[in-house]
A and B are shown apart, each in its own frame.
Chain A
Amino acid sequence: GEDVEQSLFLSVREGDSSVINCTYTDSSSTYLYWYKQEPGAGLQLLTYIFSNMDMKQDQRLTVLLNKKDKHLSLRIADTQTGDSAIYFCAEIGGSARQLTFGSGTQLTVLP
């Protein structure tokens, strides 16, 4: 089956930028998503990008997609303590009926 991989942990200082990376194997990916999960909560959709786009910016969030390398990243500018959470990358392909999730990256923001 298709695979989505992320690094497990990332620590940054408050005010710095965070970059969370994700790689995937599905060459027919149509949409790619970033979700945020805080402890004991469900998943919050942060943003998504269509596979024919290279970049999408939404306030402090910037998504970069390198379709050739099947690499997706999420940059959070001016990271705050409230950004501490687990971030999941997910993708869905042309004929797939469900999302494929990465393992999640635990982002810790240090004061």
Chain B
Amino acid sequence: AQSVTQPDIHITVSEGASLELRCNYSYGATPYLFWYVQSPGQGLQLLLKYFSGDTLVQGIKGFEAEFKRSQSSFNLRKPSVHWSDAAEYFCAVDPVRGFQKLVFGTGTRLLVSP
């Protein structure tokens, strides 16, 4: 079945440590890929997106993501986490590539410890 999977419900990282959030998708053709962040009680903010080309994508707030076609993955990374990064992170895909009807994963809640 077509789906977006974020296998980690919660992740706790020490401030200053590196972060990797996992995302896998199951679609016949490579969809457009996105990462969003949601702070408590807030809407979603676009961190980065991948449509084609260079498989390492740079986003805002120091985040990057790497697309791996062979693994159907689009993992989000940050080399050094700040306390303000604590939030919910959603991976999303646009299966129709440009029609903006996003399918979201269930999210990963990031906790940052001092």
* A and B are interacting partners: no
Q: B-side interface residues toward A, CB under 8 Å?
A: none
Q: A-side interface residues toward B, CB under 8 Å?
A: none
